[in-house]
């Protein structure tokens, strides 16, 4: 693509594309393209002028090459609502606010006084009706106070004050609506599906296929722990499905042949084959948006308290206005009191602060499903870590395969990969990747595989029962024996690796040695968490005591629990909560799901199992545990902002009421200062909490 350089300074370019303007979809496509290059630190796209400003940390020629290589034809505009950036939504609200401001001041210059009076009376009807609806519901809320204040201003002939109040209320409503929709859409996009591959049923058996190539009528197999990628109908199998992401139901629902299932829900237990009935993305996105908007989880307890307080204060404002008139017999003073209330600012600033914080968290690669979870993170004193894939790297590797039978190591790895490829776990991925690197093809050799949470996988290969999993599962639960001639080899297994045991027909066939090194940042993160107020940092793992002790020592964790089952993790959290502690759980696997659900705030690693991400309240990027530090700091700053807003609103408006009663401030000035401060706090709520790095 031809580009024209419009402006240039060190490490920053502004270029113009060969068009008058870009559509929103084209701007989104270009934005997505530029995000794929690590050398481009930031890109600002101006669709109205077809300009692009990029900040980079590489050679200038490389940036120009990237920009010139882009083509709208090769990268078509995205049509899925779950993938759009919200650019169109923001432009719509910016235009609406600009039009409201221009119209407000233009009518003062153009319209004669008599026409403006009629105009203000007509506009007031809308607010009066809102107040009457509140009264009809038997509640004295801020809408009623606004209606009485506007009506009183019109009655005493202060049309300028009535106009200003309605204008500022409209701007405030628009800002709140804009931020709410943008924050909800941002959150919904990050909660939307990201399923690239699915198991497609064909005449030749199950094959791994691109999800984009699936059509209505195709059949896909969904294993335990995996997300259902499309709306459809179960045609085979039986499963317990977690539908919290769509319906908000807390417990899993049984699904069997003939049952309808929804994209974005997760199979907790069992396995089903789904006949696809809908492949489009917009329907799923809309469902998620609706669920988020209706969820009380968006509100922190501080926010809810502020809203309840706001409504409770409205009658006192009426009382103060009535008493002012009773003792002074001055209508102007009474109206001045009506022009000021606490509820308007409380109801606007608090939600905006929370939703803006959720959006800011998303900018740091953190998806938060509600303000109450940010509050839980801010107040928490205990954090529990899973080991594998959390404190250790999310991508363990196979170091060696040791055979305990006559079959070769490569053949045993091939069979193990055939079982593991169906299940979402970092160790399973390591086995599959090791087979792939060696070019070992592992077509379906087995019958239906069964995943036993926190233990392993059971199936049949050549009519022989095949098992792969932990020592406890293979030897203690299933009674597998070690061939006597290989006993010494078994006793000499290296202690520095995790062991994955593969058995057939009741005999050990192979031990797969897994290297699972600790994340480089784990020790530093644990140390920082202690400084940020966490009194208890705990590690829990199903691994052996030896491995757990080594990892805990390296990470600087004093309290750890080894060889635990999923219910043990959840039980520890429940006991800690019973002791009055606020607990966070960090995990990535199916076996972490009960603990994630039990915690005050469950944090899932984005590269982990789908069910963990669905059940968790917060998801962080799998790249670095430093995101937990960012989350803690962001949450603390949000609570600090909410408390500051509360003190400011109560203090400032109390002063305004006092000045109105004293006759120092006329109604128009009281209204201007009150509504101006409300909008100012709303705008402050939209700013980032954390300074830029």
Q: Where are the domains of the chain?
A: 4-78, 197-280, 359-392+518-635, 397-515
CA-CA distance, 448 to 456, in Å (whole number)?
14
pTM for this model (two decimals): 0.70
Provide the pLDDT for residue 42. 85
Which tokens in the block code for residue 641? Answer: 């902002």
Provide the pLDDT for residue 53. 92
Helices (H), 70-112: 87-110
Report the run of H or E that residue 539 belongs to, with start and end.
strand 536-540
Picking from 434, 380, 370, the residue whose alpha carbon sits closest to that of residue 573 is: 380
Residue 259: how many CB atoms within 10 A of its CB? 17
Give every CB contact of residue 562 below 8 A, 6+ residues apart in sequence: 541, 542, 543, 544, 545, 547, 548, 549
CATH architecture of 4-78: 2-Layer Sandwich (3.30)
Q: Which residues of the chain have pLDDT under 70?
A: 74-85, 176, 179-180, 183-196, 225, 244-251, 280-308, 310, 343-344, 347, 394, 424-425, 442-455, 609-610, 622-623, 692-693
CA-CA distance, 385 to 564, in Å (whole number)?
13
Q: 450 pairs with which residues across the strands?
A: 458
Picking from 630, 640, 629, the residue whose alpha carbon sits closest to that of residue 537 is: 629
CA-CA distance, 502 to 514, in Å (whole number)?
13
Q: Helices 113-136 and 87-110: crossing angle, nearest 10°?
A: 130
Provide the pLDDT for residue 301. 63
**Which of the listed CATH numbers 3.10.20.90, 3.40.50.1000, 1.10.260.40, 3.40.50.970 matches domain 359-392+518-635?**
3.40.50.1000
What torsion do the CA atoms of 526, 530, 536, 541 make, to the nearest 10 degrees? 0
The reply to whether CATH 2.70.150.10 applies to domain 197-280 is yes
CB 418 within 8 A of CB 443: yes
Helices (H), 137-279: 142-155, 159-191, 244-247
CB 353 within 8 A of CB 181: no
The topology under which CATH files domain 397-515 is Calcium-transporting ATPase, cytoplasmic domain N (3.40.1110)
Provide the pLDDT for residue 83. 47
Provide the pLDDT for residue 152. 85
Provide the pLDDT for residue 246. 56
Provide the pLDDT for residue 208. 78
């Amino acid at each position: 693509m031809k580009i024209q350089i419009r402006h240039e300074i060190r490490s920053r370019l502004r270029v113009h594309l060969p068009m008058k303007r870009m559509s929103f979809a084209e701007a989104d496509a270009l934005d997505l393209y530029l995000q794929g290059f690590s050398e481009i630190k930031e890109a600002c796209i101006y669709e109205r002028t077809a300009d692009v400003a990029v900040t980079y940390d590489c050679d200038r020629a490389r940036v120009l090459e990237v920009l010139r290589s882009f083509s709208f034809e090769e990268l078509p505009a995205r049509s899925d609502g779950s993938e759009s950036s919200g650019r169109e939504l923001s432009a719509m609200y910016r235009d609406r606010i600009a039009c409201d401001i221009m119209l407000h001041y233009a009518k003062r210059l153009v319209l004669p006084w008599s026409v403006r009076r009629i105009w203000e009376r007509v506009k007031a009807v809308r607010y009066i009706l809102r107040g009457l609806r509140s009264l009809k519901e038997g509640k004295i809320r801020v809408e009623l106070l606004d209606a009485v204040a506007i009506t009183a201003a019109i009655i005493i002939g202060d049309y300028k004050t009535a106009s200003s109040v309605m204008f500022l209320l409209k701007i405030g409503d628009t800002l709140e609506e804009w931020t709410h929709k943008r924050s909800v859409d941002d959150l919904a996009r990050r909660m939307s599906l990201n399923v690239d591959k699915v198991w497609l049923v064909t005449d030749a058996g199950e094959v791994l296929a691109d999800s984009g190539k699936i059509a209505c009528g195709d059949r896909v197999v969904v294993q335990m722990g995996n997300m259902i990628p499309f709306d459809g109908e179960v045609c085979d199998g039986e499963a317990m499905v977690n539908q919290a992401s769509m319906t908000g139901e807390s417990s899993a629902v049984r699904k069997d042949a003939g049952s309808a299932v929804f994209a974005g829900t997760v199979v907790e237990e069992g396995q089903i084959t789904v006949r696809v009935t809908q492949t489009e993305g917009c329907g799923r996105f809309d469902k998620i948006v609706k669920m988020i908007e209706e969820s009380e989880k968006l509100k922190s307890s501080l926010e809810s308290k502020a809203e309840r307080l706001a409504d409770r204060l409205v009658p006192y404002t009426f009382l103060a206005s009535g008493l002012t008139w009773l003792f002074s017999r001055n209508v102007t003073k009474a109206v001045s009191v009506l022009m000021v209330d606490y509820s308007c600012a409380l109801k606007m600033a608090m939600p905006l602060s929370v939703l803006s914080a959720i959006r800011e968290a998303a900018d740091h690669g953190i998806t938060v499903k509600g303000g109450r979870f940010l509050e839980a993170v801010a107040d928490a004193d205990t954090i529990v870590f899973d080991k594998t894939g959390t404190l250790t790297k999310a991508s363990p590797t196979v170091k060696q395969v040791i055979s305990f039978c006559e079959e070769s190591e490569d053949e045993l790895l091939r069979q193990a990969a055939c079982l593991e490829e169906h299940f979402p776990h970092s160790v399973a991925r390591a086995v599959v990747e090791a087979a792939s690197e060696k070019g070992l093809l592992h077509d379906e050799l087995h019958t239906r595989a069964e995943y036993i949470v926190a233990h392993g996988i059971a199936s049949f290969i050549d009519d022989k029962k095949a098992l792969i999993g932990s020592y406890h599962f293979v030897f203690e639960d299933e009674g597998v024996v070690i061939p006597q001639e290989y006993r010494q080899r078994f006793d000499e297994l290296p202690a520095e690796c995790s062991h994955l045991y593969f058995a057939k027909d009741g005999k050990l066939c192979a031990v797969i040695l897994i290297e699972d090194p600790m994340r480089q940042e784990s020790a530093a993160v644990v140390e920082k968490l202690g400084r940020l107020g966490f009194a208890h940092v705990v590690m829990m793992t199903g691994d052996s005591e030896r491995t757990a002790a080594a990892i805990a020592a390296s990470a600087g964790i004093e309290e750890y629990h080894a060889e635990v089952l999923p219910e043990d993790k959840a039980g520890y959290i429940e006991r800690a909560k019973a002791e009055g502690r606020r607990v966070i759980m960090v995990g990535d696997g199916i076996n972490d799901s009960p603990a994630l659900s039990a915690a005050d705030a469950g944090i899932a690693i984005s590269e982990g199992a789908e069910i963990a991400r669905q059940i968790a309240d917060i998801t962080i990027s799998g790249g670095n545990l430093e995101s937990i530090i960012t989350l803690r700091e962001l949450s603390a700053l949000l609570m600090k902002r909410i408390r500051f807003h509360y003190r400011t609103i109560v203090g400032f408006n109390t002063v305004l009421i006092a000045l109105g009663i004293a006759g120092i401030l006329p109604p128009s000035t009281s209204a201007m200062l009150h509504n101006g401060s409300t909008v100012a706090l709303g705008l402050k709520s939209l700013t980032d909490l954390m300074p830029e790095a």
